[in-house]
Amino acid sequence: MGNLLHCQDIVLGWEGSAVVSGLSFNISEGDYLCILGENGSGKSTLIKALLGLNKPMSGMMIKPADMKAGDIGYLPQQTAVQRDFPASVREIVLSGCLPKCGLRPFYNKAEKELARSTMERLGITGLAKRCYRELSGGQQQRVLIARALCAAQKVLLLDEPVTGLDPKAQIDLYDLIAELNRSGITIIMVSHDFNAAMRYASHILHIGAHHQLFFGTTADYLKSETGRIFSAQANARDEKPEERTESGIE
């Protein structure tokens, strides 16, 4: 499989001030990379760099010559205002094709067909005429993934995609993302969900306090000191209240 991105000791920041440093990792076609890290560790700054919105202060970030910023479909975290957007599902999915329109003030036949087939692929054809703000959280996320796929069909960058969803909707969305990955789409997902990362991701990039703690396969991550520490912490959080009381943690 081809290499989509090679980063070597990159430093990212704003206005000359470093936010995260020492990032060295690779992303290949078909990978499912999960980026782990606490709030404030530099994940958002890395997202902007992956989208081409800011350049490294130092180090190397090498992409294929024919890869453009628009080749990455992006699903950001939603705000309350965005969840209440008064447009139809079809309109929102179609809006993913806007970069393809250029100066043309309308969608062509191919773009309309792409939106239709993408909605069918994600199981939301029946929602096409529904108002977006009337949908459940899980349905809204499917709509936004469909929109991202209309923008770019090879790479999806997902920022905390299950935030605010109930447990069943979370599982359904994770399964959908895994299915897309199996179909050949490269997934880059930022998450706090350790267990989901271990279950679905092929590779882990773990950022600590503004620097890289680990990059490699999920299997190697679980064998590493960083992986063992965070696995123990995740298991402790998942214990039932009575179990934590008995063990003296509470």
Mean pLDDT of the chain: 89
CATH architecture of 3-247: 3-Layer(aba) Sandwich (3.40)
Is residue 170 a contact partner of residue 200, using CB atoms and an 8 Å limit? no
58-62 sheet: strands from edge to edge: 17-28, 3-14, 58-62
Give bridge partners of residue 190 from the DSSP assignment. 35, 159
pLDDT, tens digit (0-9, with 9 covering 90-100), for 91-148: 999 999 988 787 788 899 999 999 999 999 999 999 999 999 999 999 999 999 999 9
48-66 residue pLDDT tens: 999 988 899 999 999 887 7
CA distance 72 to 83: 22
